[in-house]
Amino acid sequence: MAWSRRLLTVAAITYFFTGLTLFLLPDYSAANFPWDVSPFVAMTIGGWTLGMGFMAREALRGGATQRVYPTLLALWAFSAFELLVAGVFFNSLRVDNWLTWPYLLALALGTASGVLGLPVLWRMRRELLVSGEGMPRWIRASYAAFVVVTGLLALVALIVVPTNGAVFPEPLGAFTTRAFSGFFAALGIGAVPLLLARDVEPAAHYARAGIYPVVLILFAALSYLVLFDFGARPGGLLYIGAYVATGVVAMAIVVWHKRETAEPDLTPRY
C-alpha cells in the first residue's frame, strides 16, 4: 500500500486546492470550469471535490488499512468513475480552462492509487469481513439504506438528464448528471462491505469521513437557497432533506462510537 498511499497523498492535495477554488469562488469557477456549468453547480462539485480531499486526509491519517478501507474504496471509485465520465464526454471538456487540468490530475492520481491498492484489499478480504466483535444492527441497517438510496440516485442520474429543475433547482446537462451519478455510486460502493463486516471501526471511520462532503454540499445548497421554489417544485426539499438526513445519521454513528470507545474515568472521587 506504500505507493498507493503516496499517490493518494498527492491526489488529496490536488483535490483540496481544486475543490477549495470551486467552492469559494463559484462565479469565477463556472467561467473556468472543465465543462459548462452554473455557479451553483460549480460550488456543489467543489463541495464534493473538497470533501474528497478531506476524506483522503482522514484515510491517510486514520491508521491501519483494516480501519479505513471503506473510505479508500469510495475515494478510488470516485476517482475512477469521474475520470471515466470525463473520458466519455471528452469532446465537451474545455481544455483551454485552467481548472480542467488539476481536476483531471486529481482523478488520475486517485485512480492510480486504486489500481495499486485494490489488489491489496482483495487479498485481505477475508480478514476484513471476519474480524471484529459484531456490528450493531442499527448501524448495519443504516448503511444498507444508504447503499440502496445512493444506488438508486446513481442509476437515475445515469439514465435521466433532468431539465425541469424538479429536484435540483436548475436544468442539468448530461455531463453534470453523469458526474453526480459517479459521486453517488462511489459513496455507495464504499459502504457495501459494511453490510457484511463485523468490525464497527471502519463503519465509524467512514461515517466521520463522509460528513465532510455532505456538509459542504449542503452548505452550497443553502448558499443558493434563493434558487429553490419549494412551493412550485417541492422536490427541492428532497434534495436538501437527503443530505440533512445523511449527515444526522453519520453524526449519530460517530457520537455513538465515541461514547462506546471512551476511556472510563478512573479518577478517585472524594
pLDDT digit string (tens) for 3-22?
Answer: 999 999 999 999 999 999 99
Q: Is the pLDDT of residue 216 over 60?
A: yes
Q: What is the pLDDT of residue 242?
A: 92
Over range 28-33, report the average pLDDT. 95
Enter the C-alpha cell of residue 255: 457520537
The model carries a pTM of 0.92
Top-confidence residue, 266 or 244: 244
Over range 43-63, report the average pLDDT. 94
Over range 141-155, report the average pLDDT. 95
pLDDT tens for residues 159-207? 988 777 788 889 899 999 999 999 999 999 999 999 999 999 999 999 9
Residue spans of alpha helices (H) in 100-193: 100-123, 125-130, 137-159, 174-191
Angle at which helix 200-223 crosses helix 65-88, to 10 degrees, equals 40
How big is the CA angle at 115 (ends 119 and 202), to the nearest 5 degrees? Answer: 60
Q: What is the pLDDT of residue 83?
A: 97
Q: In Å, how far are 128, 184, 265 from 47, measured between CA atoms?
A: 30, 14, 39
Q: Which of 157, 175, 137 shows the shortest CA–CA distance to 239?
A: 157
Q: Lowest-pLDDT range, 127-131, 144-148, 229-233?
A: 127-131
Q: What is the pLDDT of residue 192?
A: 95
Q: What is the pLDDT of residue 129?
A: 82
Q: What is the pLDDT of residue 260?
A: 85
Q: What is the pLDDT of residue 164?
A: 79
Q: What is the pLDDT of residue 62?
A: 81
Q: What is the pLDDT of residue 269?
A: 55
Q: What is the pLDDT of residue 267?
A: 57
* Cβ count within 10 A of residue 83: 19
The rounded mean pLDDT for the chain is 92
Q: What letter would DSSP give residue 90? A: G
Q: Tell me how far apart the alpha carbons of residues 139 and 249 are, in angstroms, rounded to a whole number.
A: 9
Contact 99, 69 (CB under 8 A): no
pLDDT tens for residues 112-138? 999 999 999 999 888 888 887 888 999
Q: Tell me how far apart the alpha carbons of residues 72 and 110 are, in angstroms, rounded to a whole number.
A: 10
Q: What is the pLDDT of residue 268?
A: 57
Contact 72, 65 (CB under 8 A): yes
Enter the C-alpha cell of residue 177: 448528471
Task: Look up residue 123 and give its amino acid.
Answer: R
Residue 171's SS3 state is coil
User: How far is the first Cα of the chain from the last one, in angstroms, to the nearest whole number?
Assistant: 51
Q: How confident is the model at residue 25 (pLDDT cuts 50, 70, 90)?
A: very high
* Cβ count within 10 A of residue 139: 19
Q: DSSP secondary structure string, 212-257?
A: HHHHHHHHHHHHTGGG--TTT-THHHHHHHHHHHHHHHHHHHHHHH
Residues in the chain: 270
Q: What letter would DSSP give residue 35? A: S
Q: Tell me how far apart the alpha carbons of residues 108 and 124 are, in angstroms, rounded to a whole number.
A: 25
